[in-house]
Homo-oligomer: A and B are copies of this chain.
Amino acid sequence: MPDTPVHAPVSPAMIVRQSSPANLEFPFHTLSERLTPPGQFYVRSHFPVPELNAEEWRLEVGGLVGQPLCLTLADLQAMTPHTVTVTLECAGNSRSFLTPKVAGVAWDLGAVSTAEWTGVPLSAVLERAGLQAGAREVVLCGADRGCLDEPAKTPGIIAYERSLPLNKAQTDVLLAYAMNGEPLTPQHGYPVRAIVPGWYGMASVKWLTGICVTDTPFQGFFQTLDYSYWESVGSLSPQMTPLSVMQAKAQIARPAPGETVAAGKPYVIMGAAWTGEAKIIRVEISTDGGQTWAEAELTDPAEAHVWRRWRYLWHAPDPSGTVTLLARATDSSGQTQPTKHTPERGKYMITFPLPIAVMVE
Distance (whole angstroms) from the CB of A147 to the closest CB of chain B: 11
Instruction: Name the distance in Å between A100's Cβ and chain B's nearest Cβ.
Output: 13
- A136 to chain B minimum Cβ distance, whole angstroms, is 10
Stretch in A81-89, A174-182, A238-246, A330-338 with 4+ CB within 8 Å of B:
A238-246
B238 touches A212 (CB 8 A): no
Known A156-B344, A217-B217; 8 more pairs at CB < 8 Å = A155-B230, A155-B237, A156-B238, A212-B236, A218-B236, A220-B236, A220-B239, A221-B237
Copies of this chain: 2
Residue from B141, B219, B240 in contact with A239 in the complex, judged by beta carbons closer than 8 Å: B219
- Closest beta carbon of chain B to A28's beta carbon, Å: 30
Interface residues of A (CB under 8 A from B): 62-63, 139, 141, 145, 155-156, 158-159, 161, 210, 212, 216-221, 224-225, 230, 234-241, 343-344
Q: How far is the CA of A344 from the CA of B62 in the complex (A)?
A: 25
| Distance between Cα atoms of A292 and B161 in the complex (Å) | 44
Question: In the complex the two chains form, is A224's CB within 8 Å of B212's CB?
Answer: no
Central interface residue in A63, A210, A217, A239, by most chain B CB within 10 Å: A239
Q: Which of A139, A145, A220, A237 has the most chain B CB atoms closer than 10 A to its own CB?
A: A237
A63 CB contacts on chain B under 8 angstroms: 234
Residues of B within 8 A of A234 (CB): 63, 212
Alpha-carbon distance A220/B161, docked complex (angstroms):
22
Are A141 and B344 within 8 A (Cβ)? Answer: no
* Bound-state Cα–Cα, A155 to B158, Å: 26
Query: Are A240's CB and B225's CB within 8 A?
Result: yes
The answer on a CB contact under 8 Å between A235 and B210 is yes
A266 to chain B, nearest CB (A): 46
A344 (CB) vs chain B CBs: closest residue? B155
* Contact of A219 (CB < 8 Å), options: B141, B156, B241, B344: B241
- Say how far A279's CB is from chain B's closest CB, in angstroms: 29
Cβ–Cβ contact A155 & B238, under 8 A: yes
A-B pairs with lowest CB-CB distance, top 3: A155-B230, A219-B239, A158-B237
* A343 partner residues in chain B, CB cutoff 8 A: 155-156
Residues of chain B within 8 A (CB-CB) of A161 are 236-237
A237-B159 contact in complex given A217-B217, A224-B224, C-beta closer than 8 Å = yes
Q: Is the CB of B224 within 8 A of A240?
A: yes
Residues of chain B within 8 A of A145, CB atoms compared: 237
Looking at the complex, which one of B158, B216, B238 makes contact with A221 (CB distance below 8 Å)?
Answer: B238
- Nearest CB of B to A153, in Å: 10
Q: Report the minimum CB–CB distance from A221 to chain B (whole Å).
A: 7
Distance in angstroms from A79 CB to nearest chain B CB is: 25
Interface centre among A145, A155, A224, by most chain B C-beta atoms within 10 angstroms, is: A155
